[in-house]
Every structure is written in structure tokens, then in C-alpha cells.
Structure 1
Amino acid sequence: MTPKTSPETSPKTSGYALVTGASSGIGAAIAREYANRGVPLILTARRIERLESLAIELGTKVDVVVLAADLADPGAPAALHAEIVARGLHVAHLVNNAGYGVPGRYLSSDWRTHAEFLQVMVAAVCELTHRFLPAMEAAGHGRIVNVASLAGLVPASAGHTLYGAAKSFLIRFSESLALEVAERGVHVCALCPGFTYTEFHDVNGMRERVSKLPKLLWLDADQVARIGLDAVERGRTRCITGGANRFIAVLSKYLPDGLARALVASRSKEFRDAD
């Protein structure tokens, strides 16, 4: 989709928000929140039809560019960056949101499945950040939100073996990078949602199981988006959404390791499929 221009938001001069995995869930909610704040958008995901539908919805508020990309392809981050540069667009906000889970035991999936997961969840995040960060530093302003998870802050559970590990990496990566770039006007934040009402649990077959969890653990995607964007603007390097989730993170930090692991092991079947 060709971006709509206006005197207030020319794509040549305005900073865009690039949101990966923008076709649904938290990614779509973050795109809507940016549009509400008047920030023009570059939306990317695999499902072009959904992106175009979202672009029509948000195009009445801000300029919207849609670029289909499958970040499981190792060449996708470079191609995406090249296309954005070729269009003369400046990315001032990068939201690394694309992600999913691989259910079951580690050996229940072949290596290609795990390799593609790591490409999307870790390698693509690092490469996109590496490619777009220089222009942010040159402009003296930038925002990077890496959508991690409460799962990266609590003891690991059986099933979805690489998910918590990947999210933990994103948190540490964000914290380290934030220290490096703060003096250059760039804020980096690891957004750590807990259970969020999205399609995520439908896709991985866990909807019925996680729906039995207490409602106080849940937030909707719009709440997560608002909290996350406010946090990065305030310069916070880690943002856990929801009071219950913050309590869980603190509890897991101060409980003895053996006890924390035992508690997670006893309840893991409620939110992770290890079969």
C-alpha cells in the first residue's frame, strides 16, 4: 500500500513506527495505539490480507505502509530494511513483536522448526535492531520495544522449550542495549506481558487449558500496548504488565531456586503443553 501523505506527516520527514507481527494480537494493538498517538506506521507480517485490512482501518488517522515479510527467512530483515530505505522512510520506533510458540516436548519437533523459531524470535530481532539503530542514533531520537514475556522472568517449565529461553534473551539484550544508547537519545524497553487475550493460545492449542487460569492474571492487548508505549517513552528498560504479573516476577526472584522450580513444575501443565 502506498502511504498517504499530508502536510503534517510527510513520509520523507516523519519518523515511522515499524511493527513486526502486526497482523493480530499485541502487534495489531500496538499499531492502533501508535495511530491514536499520530505516529505513521510500517506494518509487516506474513499475512498480507490482515495487514491490508488493518491499514484501511488506521489509514484514516496516519500514513500506513504495508510490507509483507516472513521473518523465518534469514534474508527477510535485510530485505525489509532495504525496501524501507529505498522508499525514503525513517524508522524512529521499532517494535520487535513477531513471535509464536512451538508446543510440546523439544524432540517432538524437527530441527528446522526450532531453527525457524530462533530466527524469528532472536536472530531477526537482533538484525532489525542492528540495521535500524544507526539512523536513530544519527537523528538523536529513537524508540525500540522488544516484546518479551513474563515467561522470560520466571523459572522454565516443561514444553515450549525454547520460548522462555528466547524471551529471557530479549530481556537481557534490551537491558544491555538500553545502557549503550541512552545518551544518544534512544530508549529501549523489554515489554513483558503475562497472559494476554489474543490468538496466541488458539494457535498453539492451549486456549481451553489457559482459560481456566484466574482472570486477574489476564490483560487485553490494548492495555498491554498502552502500558508498553508509555514505558518506553519514560525510558524504562523493562515493563511487566499488570500487578499480578509483577508480583509473580518478584516472587520468582526471591523464592529459593529449588522451591520456585518445584512450584512451576507442579503447575506447568496448566499453561504449557509438554506432550
Structure 2
Amino acid sequence: MTPVRPLSLVTGASAGIGAAFARALAARGHDLVLTARRVDRLESLAGELRQQHACKVTALAADLADPAAPGTLCDELAQRGLAVDWLINNAGYGVPGTFVANDWRTHADFLQVLLTAPVELAWRLLPGMRERGYGRIVNVASLAGHVPGTAGHTLYAPAKAFLIKFSQGLALESHERGVHVCALCPGFTYSEFHDVTGTRMLMNKLPGFMWQSAEAVVTEGIDAVERGEIVHVTGRVNRMIKTMFKLLPDRVAMNLSARQSKRYRAQDAA
């Protein structure tokens, strides 16, 4: 049974797709728990949403690179009596450079944020959703999870491919209990992602038709999970790209991906 005011937990909510999810869900009558590392941005967004939508917003700073963070976050929710109905696993980033150009701590933190944290949050929050007979989990994956891996950002595509497969299995286990799970797979999205990775100038060379706004991505994602769609690639262009790579022989797809990726990748440090 759908709650009168669902409670949504959004990770990585301080900017980009996460902030867009927060605004869209607040506009749909949800109360919110927002989490990210930058508490000042969270508080600013929380104030905006309270004023515009008269919703309850809890801002909790958390660094999901800390293995203890998901458990601590869920314990805090339980202590406050907050039962999460929607989980938006959005927190993520890219690590530029080749695999050996970065130290292991950098890779370990990345895997914790993009793989372990979303899986643990789902594991901790799913039982309550199943018990109440209602829940939505959106794992923000990527078009990158559907195409061949490329040099540079070596772990990014594999991590997103994992989220897609994880979402598929979890959806099949949960749909009969009123819980919808969706892997949301955007392509190039206007956000801070490429500023953080230092590739903004290169990305600006891409034609405009390849980009979507964070708001458009989120609208598609909310509609998809409500429909019960398990994997959703946003935007017509991205869906065409996914289909093309699926139909191409592996060797041809790998060569094409390698050639294109060189045009938009920063020079490797090592």
C-alpha cells in the first residue's frame, strides 16, 4: 500500500542527479532524507525544499567511502523512527587515469562508494519495504554498463554493469512483495561529474544532442521504476547506442569503443 507521504533516501544528494531526484520527489509529495559529504549544500537544498514543498527533510552528512557509513546511516534512521520507502542509490564519481596510475586506496574507496554501499543500503532497507508491502529502489547505473569497457576510468563501466545485474536479480526477488527495483542508465548528463574528473573541456566537444539534463534523467527514472521497468536507459540517443553495441560483434564493438573513447579521455598520468 502506497504511503500518504513516502519517505525517500537520496545518496549523493548535494548536486547533479541526486539533487534533481530530491527536488522531483519533494514535488511529488515525498518527505526526504538527503545524504552526501557536503553538509552545507545538503542544508541549503533541504531549506529550499521545505520552503517550496512543505515537506520534512532530514540532512545527514555521510562519506560512503567509509565502510561503516551505511550501517551508521541506517542506525540513525532507525533511532529517528524513519522508515524508508524509496531508496535512490545515486552517490558516485569517476577516477580518471589508467588502473595503475592510481593507488589502491583510491580504487578501494571507489568500489566502496559505487558497489558495496548501494548493495548494503538495499540489504538493510529492503526488509522493511517488503514487510510494509511497498518500496522503490533506483540504482543509478550508466549507459557505460551496457557498452565495452575502455581504457581510463577502468573500474567505472564494470561497477555500473554490476549495478545493472544486481538490480535485475533484486527486482525478480522483490516484485511480488510490492517493491520495484530499477537500474537507471543515463548517458552524458549535465552535472559536476566531468568537472571533478578534469575532463570538462574534452566533454564540451561532444555534440549537444548527446547530452541530457539531470531533471530529464530523473523524470524518466521515476516513471520507469513506478512502471516496474527493471532496466531503463534514458534518452532516445542512448537507447540507440545501447542497441547498436548489442548487435555488433564483440571485436567490432571493442574497436569502435576504443577509438571513440580516446577522443574524450584526459592524458594518462602514468
**Pair in the same fold by TM > 0.5:** yes
- Kept in 2: contact 1:157–1:272 (CA 8 A): no
Identity %: 59
**Structure 1 stretches of 5 or more lacking a match?**
1-9
d(CA) in 2 for partners of 1:31, 1:176: 26
Q: Find out whether 1:46 has 2:37 as its counterpart.
A: yes
Within the candidate set 150, 163, 166, 2:156 is matched to: 163
Q: In the TM superposition, what is the alpha-carbon distance from 1:210 to its structure 2 partner?
A: 1.0
Within the candidate set 1, 18, 27, 2:9 is matched to: 18
Match of 1:113 in 2: 106
- Kept in 2: contact 1:137–1:185 (CA 8 A): yes
Q: Find out whether 1:82 has 2:75 as its counterpart.
A: yes
- Normalised by the length of structure 2, the TM-score is 0.96
d(CA) in 2 for partners of 1:14, 1:32: 15
Deviations 1:231-251 (A, max 9, x none): 000000011110000000000
Structure 1 counterpart of 2:257, one-letter code: V
Within the candidate set 201, 210, 234, 2:203 is matched to: 210
Q: In the TM superposition, what is the alpha-carbon distance from 1:182 to its structure 2 partner?
A: 0.4
- 1:109-258 equivalence runs, <5 A: 109-258=102-251
Secondary structure of residue in 1 paired with 2:85: strand
Match of 1:6 in 2: none
Secondary structure of residue in 2 paired with 1:74: coil
Secondary structure of residue in 2 paired with 1:224: helix
Structure 2 counterpart of 1:52, one-letter code: E
Secondary structure of residue in 2 paired with 1:113: helix
Secondary structure of residue in 2 paired with 1:188: strand
Q: Find out whether 1:72 has 2:65 as its counterpart.
A: yes
Superposition RMSD on alpha carbons, in Å?
1.1
Count of aligned pairs: 264
**Structure 2 stretches of 5 or more lacking a match?**
none
Q: In the TM superposition, what is the alpha-carbon distance from 1:272 to its structure 2 partner?
A: 3.2
Runs of 4+ with >6 A deviation: none
d(CA) in 2 for partners of 1:241, 1:274: 29
